[in-house]
Structure formats: C-alpha cells, structure tokens
Structure 1
Amino acid sequence: GFYLFSSLKSHLQKNGYFANNNIPLPDLRHVLDLVALGTVADVVKLDQNNRILISEGIRRIRAKQCAPGILALLEISKRQAETLQASDLGFSVAPRLNAAGRLSDISRGIKCLLTDDMNDARRYAQELEAFNQKRRIEQERIQLEAEAIVKAQEVSESKFALSLFDPSWHEGIVGIVAGKLKEMHHCPCAVFAKSGDCLKGSIRSIPSVHIKDLLDLVDRQNPGLILKFGGHAMAAGLSIKPEDFWHFKRAFSKAIKQHLDAKIPTVELLTDGEPEAFDISLDNAQLLADSGPWGQGFEEPIFYGNFEIVEQRVVGEKHLKCRLKLMGDTRIHDAIAFFQAPLDTKQVTVAYKLSINTWRGATNLQLMVEQISASE
C-alpha cells in the first residue's frame, strides 16, 4: 500500500497535479508509523525494504512523531515509546486494535489511529483495552473447553489433526485458539464457531503441511463439503454446513495423515548455538535490540544452554518467572517463560532470547524462554 501511494504521488507530481491545483506536496514520512504497525501486526515477511520502512516508522514513534492513537495504546499497555521495539507493536498494540474487530466493530480501532487529539486517542484506547480484556477472558474460556474436548478424544484422533466446534464459541476468537492449540499439539488445528446458518472455521498449520493446498485436496475429494475457503501455507479460513462438521473432521484428518505418510510430525526448534557464559550479557542484549527490527523471515536469534533453576514462581497469567544459573558459571540470570508450568527438576535445557527488562528505573538482562525442559 505504501509503495502504491508513493508511486501515485510521483506520477501526480510529474504530471503537475499538485502544482496546478495549489496542493502541498504530500510527505509520506508522516504515515511510516502506520506502515510499521501494519507490517508487524500482519506478520509480513521482513525483506530488506520492509525492514527499512519499519525501522523508520519505529524511529518516528520513538520521537513521538506519530499518530496519538499509537502513543495512547503504548501508554495503556505500559510500554515506553522511547524504547519501542517491533515486538511491542506485535504483542501490545496490535492485539488491542484487533480486539474490537474480533468482538464488535473494528471502527473503534480505526478512529483511534486517525484522531489527531490525544484526549480522544486515550478515550479510544480505553475502549480498546476493555475489548481486549473481554477477548482474553473469552479466549481463555474457549481454550479450556477446547482442551477438554481434545482430552476426551482418543489419542489417535489428535495425532495428525484437530477439528473442534462448540456453538457457544465466538467466531472472532477461534483463530487465536487454533494457533494456541497448534503450538501445544504440533499438528494442524481447525476451530469452528457458529455464524448464521454456517460454521466458520479458522485453521492454523505446521511447516510440513501447506494448509491451503490441503484444503484444495479435501475440496476435490469431497465436492460440496466446503462451501468456501481461502488462505495460505500456514493459515486458512473456511465455511461448512453445521451438519457436515463430522464429515469434514474425518476428511481433514485423513488428508493430513496421507500427506504426512502416517508419520507423526516432529517438533524442531532451530537455535543459533550455545554462547559462552560471558556472551550472556546486557551489552549483547542491547546490541541485538539495536540490530532489529526482527520478525517474520528475519527472526531474532535464539540460543540454548544447560542451566540450573535457582528459583521459580508463577506470575500473572500462568507465566513462569525464574532465576537461572548457567552450568559452570556463578552468575544468576532472570528469566521468564510464558504459559509455562513450574518444573519439578533443577537441571534444565533452555532455548532463549536475550532481552532487556526495565522496571522502576532499573535496566537488567532478562532471558526470554522459548523452550525449557529437563536436561537429559
């Protein structure tokens, strides 16, 4: 979209449109904050051009040369504009913008981004925060109910694919739940909700299953089963008749099992190696932060190592806050693992990112745990 407007501006300028109509030449730098937000929120692949646009957008937000709505959303999510990272846009701003559209009307999010008045922006941000809180409560309920359905199924049913439905589930939230279930069970997951006379489903897939191509196959093998569908390699949406849910469930699982040659998909986490003890430092965390933006197609480095758990406790929404000591080293590092239960072992292997945690004016190194398990 940005490049289209840039090209259009050049074309109109070349043909004298602005000069002939006494219109000031548009400065597209003023929309780079929105370009950065949209690119990160939509998980667009970060090629060289996109990284430049995001970097410039983040620079403008840090300087507070941006939409008041972005500042208001950062404020309400307790993020500092001056130290903004791309991940803050993806994990703090975007969910609040999307919450209104998931539960009600997306126009509130649009109004928040378009207003020039900071007071109005804060008011819209408060509304979006309320929607986000409702979304989180509803998401947790649906996820718990979905997990109960999975546990009640035969183990063989959930090895290759999951298809779940309940008439009380909200169609704006089933996509998030499908993503969470996919991460937990390491297989493609389809979660459906009632939508008028149909069931609308969201599917999240794994790297070894191109889900759009697989739905093409299911559609060809079962004419009329899928009313409509669309998507890409890792995610898709579809509509089916309520009475066809069990037919779809069987066809979907069968197609994936055949595609995988009846081999249960394995989970692989690629890392950038095991750093030396002295490399695990605040300076290197800052160096990596300054080397961003990181994101889809340009992933932030992940490291691994063997640690001893010195202390662990559950905080917030089922997150594990712990203090870790690298084996053979004396220093102790703060770490956090999201949605992780306490471990009953002291010796663990950890995959992690180096991050910076600022709290009450103090800045410290924090390990962001991607995966943690008992050492072999």
Structure 2
Amino acid sequence: MPIIQYRRPDAEAVQRLIQSGIHPVIARILAGRGVAEPESVALLLRALEQPGSMRDLEKAAHLVAECVLKQKNLFVIGDYDVDGGTATALLMDFLTQCGARVDFLIPNRVTEGYGLSPALVERAAAHQADCLITVDNGISAFAGVEAAKARGMMVIVTDHHLPGQGIPPADAVVNPNQPGCRFPWKSTCGVGVAFYLAAAIKKVLIAAGHPPVHGLDLGQFLDLVALGTVADVVPLEKNNRIFIRAGLKRLRQGTARTGLLALMRVSGISPATVQAEDLGFRLGPRINAAGRLEDMRVGVRLLLTRDAEEADTLAKKLHSLNGERQQIEAEMLEQALERAQQLLPEFAEGLPHPLTDEDAQAVQAPRILCLQDPQGHEGVVGLVAGRIKERTGLPTLVFAPGADAGVLKGSARSIPNVHIRDFLAEMDAQHPGLILGFGGHAMAAGLTVRTQDFDRFAQIAQALALQRIPFDALAHRVWVDGEIEADYCTLDLAQEIEAFGPYGNQFPAPLFIGTFRLLKSQRIGKDGQTLKMSVALDGAGRTGQPLQAIQFKRGEVPDPEPGDICRFLYTLSVNRFRGEESLQCIVQQVMEPVSTAVV
C-alpha cells in the first residue's frame, strides 16, 4: 500500500487564483504545483524565455550562418530517440528552407552506439562535410570532436545532457546545463535547444540580408518541439509547458507537418482532441521504435516529408515496428520479472513500508536492481528497466548483449530520490575501468560494461546503494490533490483540468482521493484485466450522482461488491466517443473497502 501524502498549497496563492476567476479546484491544483500568480497561468508563446543568456548560442549562430552563406556542407548529427529525431528534423527542415547545403547522420544504436564518434566522423568526411552540428548529443563526445577537428571540420555541439569531466573542444557548445550558462530553464531538451539555435541563426541571416529567411515562420517547428519535449520526459517547467501547449495548438488546428498527421491517423488519434499524453504514449513510442529496432532515419524521414503518400507508408512502417517492439518488450519483461523476484526476498511485487534501515539489512533487501538478459535486445532495455522500476520502486538497470562480442549495453531508470548518473559517476571514480562508458541525467542513464564484469558490477552497485540510498528513500509515496466535493465532480471540471495542462514530469496530472459507493461493476477486455464501474461519491453525509469509472490492469485480485464503500485514488477524465464527451473517473488504485455491503 502506498504512503498517501497530501499537497499543501499556499492558501494565499489559492485565494489569488480564485479571485482571478479560476475554479477553486483548479486553483488548488495550480498552487500545489508552484503556480502562485494569475499572470503565470496563461502560458502564452510570447512569454517564452528569450535565449540571450544561453552560453555560446550567438557564437554558434554566427558560425552556422557563415556556413549557410558560403554554401559549406553542413551535417546534423542526431540521436536515435524521439528528442534526437525531432531535433534532427527541425534543423534539417530549417536549414533547408534557409538555402543551406545540409544533410544528417544518426548512428545506428546497435552497430555504432551513441553520439558523435570517430567512426561517424569518418562517414561525414566521406561526404565532404565542412561543419558538424550535434543535436541531443555531443557533450561527452571528446574523441569524436577531436577526430572532426583533426580533419579540419567545424564542430557545433548542441545538447542538454549533464556534462562529465570538462567540455569537448568544439568551436561552440550550446547546452543549458554546461558550467557558466545562465539560461534559467535547465530542463530544456535537445529539440528545445535546437529551436533556440534556429531562432538565433535566423536573426543573423536576416541581419545579413539573406532572402530565403524573410517570412520563414519558426512556429512551424513547434509541433516537433512539443513531441520531443513530452517524449523525453523532461521536467515540465514553465518554458517547456509553453512549448508543449503551442505545439498542441498546431496539431489541433490540423496545421502540423504531414508526417505527424499521418502518424496520428495510424495511431487512432483525432487531431482536434490530441493531448500531451498522446504524444508521450502513442506517437513517441512509434517514432522511438525506429531507433530501437531499425534506424531512426525512418522516423526523421517521416518528420521531414511533405508527400502524403510517403508519409502514410512511413507511418505504417513505424506502426509495425512498434508492434514488434511491444512483443520483444513483453518477452524481456517476463524474464526480468522472474529474475527480480529471485533477487527480492519475500516481497517481489513492491517493498513493504515503512521499514527501518535495520529491518532492511536484516532481510538483505536490495536498494538497486541489476538485471541481465543474455538473449535481450539492447534497444528495449530502457523500457524494461522502467517497467521493473515501477513494479518494485527500486532504481533498476537492465543489460543486454551489445553488437561487440563480450560487451553489455545497459539502461538505468531511477526514482526521485536517487540521481542515477551521479551514482554511476561515483562507481566509475571508485572502480576505474569497470564501466566502459556512461551518460545521462537524474532519472535515466545508459552505460556499457564487459560481460565478464557484470556480476562484479552488480555486487559493487548493491554495496554502494546500501551506503548511499536510505531505505526510506525507496518508500512508494503517492501525492494527491485532496478530495473533490460531489457538486464539483462534473464534466466541466474535467474539461478545465485538461485545458490547464500539459501535465508530466514535475507538473503531474491531478490525482484525487475520495470515498465512493460502488453501484455495479464488471470485468471487460480480452484479458479481463479492466474493471468498469458505476460509482457515486460518498461523503459529507450525502451521495453524489452516478459516475462512470474504469480501472486498467486490475490484476488477479478480488473485486469490490455492489454496495461496498471504497477509497479510490483517481483522476478525472473526459471520455470521448463518437463525437460525444462524458465524465469518467480513471481509478489508479482501489483501496480496501471502508465498509462492506451486507448481503
């Protein structure tokens, strides 16, 4: 059972928001997420942070603009995830419209690995590249940058990942997380940095009187920025929420790029009602499938094409690849769960709380999980690590064989209280050579180890975790926005909650707790894992109107009976079906019945 914690928004902030005309429940939600003033609510595009404080941005813009004007050969060096793919497409499209000579390269995840490598430099050199521009990578590419410089190439690094020891010797490095950068929104992802670079290049080219940029609308790229920002699961600070809301507006207006409209069609998404969740859970995985299983160039081609027939073909290919990815993930997850259950003593489905450190030591409870799948696919290890982390509440690392013999590629997913990149950095400092390479941020990281070193790696990771991760940090805490009065539990409120999005990392979707009387229920779906219910809020001495509720992935547990009074953790949702909208409660968890119906 999770530990329920209530958000305690500042009462004065709530009142200011209510006085400005905001619904009391919405005011409570916003204030609980740090939105304290009415003027901070609108998320207008004109409030987007100006890029003047981003270190090296102006320098990079002048260098790239000079290459455009002199018709030098530019190559965008991308990454194989959605953030890298959208950033690649953005700069490719923008520079092409500027009249530049530009192409792109994205390393194959399996055969070439991550980022700007010396091997990738050789590929660029074969195409007579004069300037390389990295997007969503490069901050740790010392060898790649040095190889490019040795060949006389200009190198512009744009990235958002945390630097390691030092900064590579590029001609310009644009990264909000590098030392000395005063840009305030450190959570800007790779495609966001690329957008700012495009804006700066446009400004330089306008000053130079370059005709192609006159009338070039940067707004056309906001659908890409929104998709990459949501898919990369970066913290949704104000600037990122502005990006996402502006991008969603273009998608809903039907003015998004041809490839995204085609991908929405094969995904069953109506542009008019598309939400941030659709970008993260439906569009993003389909584009990611290209980089995981085949080649991210397929995804970039989809994002670049203006031909509707080609877009449909590529969208169907990505849809098929995603189905293949889902099958591989399911098989790997089954294997990983079996191994996790062997490592976790008597509590395989989540840790019992609260436990003291002494209790945890007594049962040798792991603080971190390191799992290896000898037949696994390295393109899916991150997804499996995330699933295991959600099931167990533990930071999880999953490894599979890499393309090179004797090497494992791993992916880590962490929890809010454990900075996984810093954890790996400490391991690397204490045991040089154990980790062949790593990178990432607080919640996710990638790494490479020798197959023969895996057991030693796992033992050292566990020992360090016992020192650095207090058991209390692993407690499964769920933050809720309190209860909703029956009169407020309406379709209008659900629509307002939706309108005040987007929601995501560090700006979570509102989660409520409430007491409900179960009127009726039934299991539905092919596997019978979905519980459909009719319920009524039960509180303050009165029962509300009947509501439709649904719980997915219910599992093999007994269902409450009609007449039972239960506590739910739930969200309010707008259910859309055949052009009609209705209120629906999405139940995250059914707590034990408060009282049971007398039969």
With the shorter chain as reference, the TM-score category is over 0.9
Q: Distance in 2 between matches of 1:308 and 1:284?
A: 21
On the 8 A contact 2:230/2:280 being kept in 1, the answer is: yes
State the partner residue of 2:432: 223
Task: Provide closer, same or farther for how the CA distance between residues 49 and 194 of structure 1 changes in structure 2, counting only shifts above 3 A.
Answer: same
State the partner residue of 1:81: 271
| One-letter amino acid of the counterpart of residue 201, structure 2 | L
Query: Which structure has the greater CA radius of gyration?
Result: 2
CA shift for structure 1 position 360: 2.4
On the 8 A contact 1:191/1:202 being kept in 2, the answer is: yes
Alignment of 1:1-376 (within 5 A): 1-18=194-211, 24-153=214-343, 155=345, 156=363, 159-195=366-402, 196-197=404-405, 198-261=407-470, 263=472, 265-309=474-518, 310-315=520-525, 319-323=529-533, 324-328=535-539, 329-341=543-555, 343-346=557-560, 347-375=565-593
Give deviations 1:336-371, integer Å, cap 9, x for gaps.
333331542524322222111111233211222333
Uncovered stretches (5+) of structure 1, i.e. residues with no partner: none
SS for the counterpart of 2:295 is coil
CA shift for structure 1 position 136: 0.8
Task: Provide closer, same or farther for how the CA distance between residues 231 and 74 of structure 1 changes in structure 2, counting only shifts above 3 A.
Answer: same
Identity rate, percent: 40
Report which stretch shifted further, 151-160 or 48-57: 151-160
On the 8 A contact 1:167/1:194 being kept in 2, the answer is: yes
Report which stretch shifted further, 317-326 or 143-152: 317-326
On the 8 A contact 1:159/1:264 being kept in 2, the answer is: no
State the partner residue of 2:123: none
CA shift for structure 1 position 287: 0.7
CA shift for structure 1 position 318: 6.9
On the 8 A contact 1:68/1:113 being kept in 2, the answer is: yes
On the 8 A contact 1:307/1:348 being kept in 2, the answer is: yes
Report which stretch shifted further, 294-303 or 209-218: 294-303
On the 8 A contact 1:282/1:364 being kept in 2, the answer is: yes
On the 8 A contact 1:51/1:293 being kept in 2, the answer is: yes
SS for the counterpart of 1:270 is strand
TM-score by length of 2: 0.59
What's the C-alpha RMSD, in Å, of the aligned pairs?
2.0
Q: Distance in 2 between matches of 1:224 and 1:254?
A: 18
Q: Distance in 2 between matches of 1:145 and 1:313?
A: 28
SS for the counterpart of 1:327 is strand
Task: Provide closer, same or farther for how the CA distance between residues 340 and 253 of structure 1 changes in structure 2, counting only shifts above 3 A.
Answer: farther
Report which stretch shifted further, 41-50 or 278-287: 41-50
Task: Provide closer, same or farther for how the CA distance between residues 205 and 157 of structure 1 changes in structure 2, counting only shifts above 3 A.
Answer: farther
Q: Distance in 1 between matches of 2:495 and 2:420?
A: 38
| One-letter amino acid of the counterpart of residue 14, structure 1 | A
CA shift for structure 1 position 251: 1.0
| One-letter amino acid of the counterpart of residue 174, structure 1 | V
On the 8 A contact 2:206/2:214 being kept in 1, the answer is: no
SS for the counterpart of 1:247 is helix
TM-score by length of 1: 0.93
On the 8 A contact 2:253/2:272 being kept in 1, the answer is: yes
* Count of residue pairs brought into register by the alignment: 373
